[in-house]
Amino acid sequence: MPTGTISSSKDTVGVAVVNYEVPVVETKEQVLTNCRKIAQYIEGTKRGYPGLDLMIFPEYSTQGFHPTKWKDLTTTVPGPETAIFSEACKKNKVWGVFSITGEHNPKGAPFNSFLLINDKGEIVLNYHKILPWVPMEPWYPGNETMVVEGPKGLKLGAIICYDGNHPEIVRDTVMKGAELVIRIQGYMYPSKDQQRMISQVRAWENLTYFAVANMAGRDLVYSYFGHSNIVDFDGRVLGECGTGPGEVQYALLSVSAIRDARQNWTAENHLFNTLHRGYTAIPPDGIAECPFDFYKLWVKDPQKCKQMVEGLTRATAIPVAATAR
């Protein structure tokens, strides 16, 4: 897709990603003040990019991740934070992606939540991070990938930060129909180069648009490298922020183009080819059965699969060498 404009059309979804400056907050009132700042970002960006349909904010952009007071900032969904976001989306006729860390969980530790709010102010998706970044993150793991229809019919899938390092989550999300996979993250140095590459790789291997919103700046613990970006379904970067806090990047995603590629591409149609292995040699459809022993074992016998992985790595959550220090 071409870039460089501020508009959109019936066939193109205008998407903006934000290098949001990591908030350092200690009280719920400070959180709400930050939420109002996020609402101002939406209003200002819509004014500057009238074609904006979807605006994406990073993981931790709402409550931050205070090393000692994060529990005090736990909230509900819906709640006072989402009320501010919903009003901003409705007022500006924009869809928005927001982070809640954490969301109250009656079963235990809070969730790390990805919220999608439509242009009517309705929460239409609440995804819980499946793979928290252990051993540092205290969030209760989710257990379901999610896809919903977004602006102009583009199908949106959700992942959060460390999720994206695991190809299984993105592939599962795409196989549920996602045409744009959105990754909100709070990634810090030193893994800037790896994370920039992942967005392009995940887009290419899954024939999907991929959008990343990352934190920028420094909190009480880490420095965040920004580089929020939007990637085409062939792995090309359409737009990318630098490292500075407050940067916004914008690009257009064609609904018809990705659907045409998925229907008509052959040699690089990784989605079709995975389930039609060798169709040139075995016409007309090739082989559909899964050839991967690891995945078959994981489904059939998770405990045995777990033991196999521990044989390759270790048998304890914390390495023995670390506990002996």
CB distance 22 to 218 below 8 Å? yes
168 is catalytic: no
Per the annotation, the verdict on 192 as an active-site residue is no
| Strands 123-128 and 111-117, sheet pairing | antiparallel
Helix (H) or strand (E) holding 190: none
Q: Which of 129, 155, 179, 241 does the annotation list as catalytic? A: 129
Distance CA 89, CA 112 (A): 21
Question: Is 247 an annotated catalytic residue?
Answer: no
Catalytic residue among 59, 103, 137, 240: 59
Give Dmax (Cα) for the chain: 64
Give ∠ CA 255-52-125 in degrees, rounded to 5: 70
In terms of C-beta density within 10 A (0-12 exposed, 13-18 middle, 19 or more buried), how is residue 62 classed?
buried
Q: What does the alpha-carbon distance between residue 16 and residue 3 come to, in Å, rounded to a whole number? A: 12
**Active-site option among 35, 81, 155, 161:** 161
Active centre residues (catalytic)? 59, 129, 161
